[in-house]
Amino acid sequence: MSTPRLRDSFITSQADLVKARRLVVKIGSSSLTTLDGGISVAALERLVDALQTLRTRGTQVVLVSSGAIAAGLAPLTMGVRPQDLAGKQAAAAVGQGLLMAHYSRTFGQYGAVAAQLLLTVEDLIRRSQYTNALRSIERLLSMGAVPIINENDAVATHEIRFGDNDRLAALTANLIHADALILLSDVDALYDGPPAEGGTALPVIDGPEALAAVRLGGSGKAGLGTGGMVTKVGAAEICTNNGIPAMLTSADRAPELFAGEAVGTFFTARGRRRGARSAWLTHLAHTEGRVVVDAGAVSAVVGRRRSLLPAGITACEGVFEASDPVDVVGPDGVVVARGIASYSSQELPRMMGRTTAALAEEMGPDYDRPVIHTDDMVRLG
Ligand SMILES: Nc1ncnc2c1ncn2[C@@H]1O[C@H](COP(=O)(O)OP(=O)(O)O)[C@@H](O)[C@H]1O
Ligand SMILES: N[C@@H](CCC(=O)OP(=O)(O)O)C(=O)O
């Protein structure tokens, strides 16, 4: 089976969710683990049971599961969630295996096979790598397995971290052209303010205006969840801006949600669907470097959607390789675009300000290419 053709979502309300053929479901640490740092086996089993309901009616499911770091705390007698990178890496290295063992056993009870994919940003920004990730997910789905994705926390450094699985789930939904993203947390809906302070549940968010008066707080369970509601709403926005609706409710209410009942908060899709790479680039947390360009290059690249040529570049900052993502910065310091560089930061300084014809003549035909091809670039702002 291949990735479904890109088309606008047919899911325009929560009631349509039962028609979804392909879903990304994300579950947070706070729903899967206990405060003392162990896996809540009962919660994990309830989740698998709910996902099996979906799968048996023909919906393909890709699960993005947090919980590795939280699950590693108790076995390593770490007590609280470590703040340092090495501590998180160690906890995740222990917890991820435990988590997957539970998933494999529980899906196995239904005759289903769980598959683990651990990703870093690198795997999703480089074309060769995201094609690999996509191919692997597609093959697993076509074989009836359940791809279970997490960030590769055991080796992820600050530079290559997604940072939060809400975002990873949103980007995955975009990558595999999912019909919707389902975010399962420990709160049953988005409220107009942190639920601990009271507040009203919001059944539908149909645009940024609907979010204007909403107060988004951090994680309610200090030490377990990471991003709180900020990252969940951010993930929903990544999806809705790319034409994919999103749904937020609690893991406890997943069975009701999958049965078509009205629970949680539905985020209506707005933007048109875009290709996977343009969404990755737009929502990338981090780029390796920047190229500063002159005003003429800004109007060519942004206004006329041309490729970026060496002639318009005035400075090159940071260390990057050819095929790394870089920001394109105007003379006023504003980032106007982002794209995949065709040259490294070592090569660019001697190319800046020169025409491709002159470069090709002096350095060979390989240098007759733009610095960022228009197809490899997203315009920002
Ligand atoms: N406006 C809001 N509506 C709902 N929940 C909110 C809001 N602001 C903050 N929260 C908190 O966000 C928490 C969910 O985030 P988090 O703990 O990071 O979950 P997860 O581990 O599922 O990713 C909820 O438990 C809730 O206390
Ligand atoms: N990748 C990390 C989880 C990161 C994360 O976003 O956590 P959460 O906010 O609970 O979804 C882990 O498995 O512990």
Residue with the nearest Cα to atom 20 of ligand 1? Answer: 28
Average pLDDT, the chain: 89
202-213 per-position pLDDT tens digit: 999 998 899 998
pLDDT in tens, 329-341: 999 999 999 998 9
Give the pLDDT band (50/70/90) at residue 221: low
Most confident of the ranges 103-107, 158-162, 366-370: 103-107
Q: What per-residue confidence (pLDDT) applies to 366? A: 82
Look at residue 225 and tell me whether its pLDDT is greater than 80: no
For residue 6, what pLDDT band results from cuts at 50, 70 and 90? low
**ipTM of the shown complex:** 0.97
Residue whose Cα lies nearest atom 7 of ligand 1: it is 194
CATH number, span 14-280: 3.40.1160.10
Given pLDDT bands bounded at 50, 70 and 90, which one contains residue 19? very high
Q: Is the pLDDT of residue 161 over 70?
A: no
Residue 222: is its pLDDT beyond 60?
no
Nearest ligand 1 atom to the CA of 229 is 12
Question: What is the CA(268)–ligand 1 centre distance, in A?
Answer: 20
- Across residues 295-320, what is the average pLDDT? 95
User: Which strands sit side by side in the sheet containing 114-119, from one edge to the other?
Assistant: 114-119, 146-151, 60-65, 22-27, 180-185, 246-250, 265-267, 204-205
Q: What are phi and psi of 31, to 5 degrees?
A: -90, -15
| CB contact set of 108 (below 8 Å; sequence gap of 6+) | 114
Flag whether pLDDT at 267 surpasses 80: yes
Instruction: Domain ranges for the chain, please list them.
Output: 14-280, 287-379
**In this model, does residue 177 exceed pLDDT 70?**
yes
Q: Is the CB of 29 under 6 A from ligand 2?
A: yes
pLDDT digits (tens, 9 = 90+) for 98-153: 999 999 999 999 999 999 999 887 676 665 667 788 899 999 999 999 999 999 98
Centre of ligand 1 to C-alpha 218, Å, is 6
Question: What does the alpha-carbon distance between residue 176 and residue 130 come to, in Å, rounded to a whole number?
Answer: 10
For the domain made up of 287-379, the CATH class stated in words is mainly beta
**13 to each of 99, 230, 267, 315, 346, how far by Cα in Å?**
33, 23, 9, 48, 50
Among all bound ligands, the one having the nearest atom to the CA of 186 is: 1
Residue nearest to atom 11 of ligand 2 (CA): 28
> What local confidence, expressed as pLDDT, does residue 191 receive?
96
Average pLDDT over residues 190-200: 89
What confidence score (pLDDT) does residue 4 get?
A: 67
- Ligand 2: does its nearest atom lie under 6 Å from the Cβ of 186? no
Could you tell me the pTM of the whole model?
A: 0.82
